[in-house]
């Protein structure tokens, strides 16, 4: 099984389907966000799901009732996973988990951009606790800060950790896995490569060799 998740952050549906098809043999799953979904419509989730399991990176951060509605729509399109924020508190996360069915729920323990250190990073431990207590499946933790990823691994119990920020953002696949990530998320280094399949194959093989 591959440890590689493709962050398919392109805006064009045809390009998205093309890259997904070519890279599929080397992927565990495909992560899509709002830019692609708002550009091409929510049916892109159904279409991509025929190729590989799809994780909707919607960073859901609303009141419980709205979180529930978003979760139900994501489920209805056959997605594999959903990514939510935990800073909104346990009731908001619980509303996702309780309505997730077979959807894997991933809570963002910490983000990878500079601004994440301003407020969010103070609450990483609280958010991991919320994720565990509400019964979420896994966590998102940054490959750009391996020492933080390692800290999150230590307090995460046996939750699955997905780690974005590998490649263009500076994170290293090997470092992320060694720090405790179960899977790494790679975007630009694959979808902007002249040969996306070859780029995915290489990262997949590097991950296999660890």
Which residues bind to a copy of itself, rule: CB under 8 A?
A: 9, 11, 33-35, 37-39, 41-42, 58-59, 61-64, 66, 69-70, 73, 85, 87-93, 111-120, 123, 126-127, 130
Structure tokens at 199: 């780029």
Place of tokens 């890279």: 23
Nearer to a copy of itself, 34 or 174 (CB): 34
Structure tokens at 82: 């959903």
Of residues 15, 22, 59, 77, which has the active-site annotation? 59
Considering only CA atoms, which of 163, 137, 158 is closest in space to residue 71?
A: 137
* CA 186 to the chain's CA centroid: 10
Nearer to a copy of itself, 38 or 210 (CB): 38
CB 58 within 8 A of CB 36: no
Nearer to a copy of itself, 36 or 207 (CB): 36
| Minimum CB distance to a copy of itself, residue 41 (Å) | 5
| Minimum CB distance to a copy of itself, residue 169 (Å) | 9
Nearer to a copy of itself, 23 or 40 (CB): 40
Q: Is 59 a catalytic residue?
A: yes
* CA 208 to the chain's CA centroid: 20
Structure tokens at 125: 């431990």
| Minimum CB distance to a copy of itself, residue 101 (Å) | 17
| Minimum CB distance to a copy of itself, residue 113 (Å) | 4
Indicate left, alpha or beta for 176 from its phi (over 0: left) and psi (-120 to 50: alpha). alpha
Distance of alpha carbon 181 from alpha carbon 162, whole angstroms: 6
Radius of gyration of the chain (CA): 16
Report the catalytic residues: 59
């Amino acid at each position: 099984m591959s440890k590689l998740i493709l962050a398919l952050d392109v805006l064009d549906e045809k390009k998205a389907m093309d890259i997904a098809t070519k890279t599929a043999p080397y992927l565990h799953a495909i992560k899509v966000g709002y830019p692609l979904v708002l550009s091409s419509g929510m049916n892109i989730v159904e279409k991509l799901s025929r190729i590989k399991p799809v994780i909707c990176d919607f960073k859901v951060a609303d009141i419980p009732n709205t979180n529930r509605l978003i979760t139900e729509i994501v489920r209805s399109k056959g997605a594999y996973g959903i990514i939510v924020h935990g800073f909104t508190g346990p009731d908001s996360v619980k509303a996702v988990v309780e309505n997730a069915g077979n959807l894997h729920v991933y809570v963002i323990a910490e983000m990878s951009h500079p601004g994440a250190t301003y407020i969010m990073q103070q609450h990483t431990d609280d958010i991991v606790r919320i994720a565990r207590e509400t019964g979420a499946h896994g966590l998102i933790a940054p490959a750009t800060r391996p020492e933080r990823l390692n800290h999150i691994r230590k307090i995460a119990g046996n939750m699955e950790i997905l780690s974005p920020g590998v490649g263009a953002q500076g994170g290293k696949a090997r470092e992320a896995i060694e720090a405790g990530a179960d899977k790494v998320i790679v975007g630009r280094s694959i979808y902007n490569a002249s040969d996306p399949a070859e780029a995915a194959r290489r990262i997949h093989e590097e991950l296999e060799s660890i």
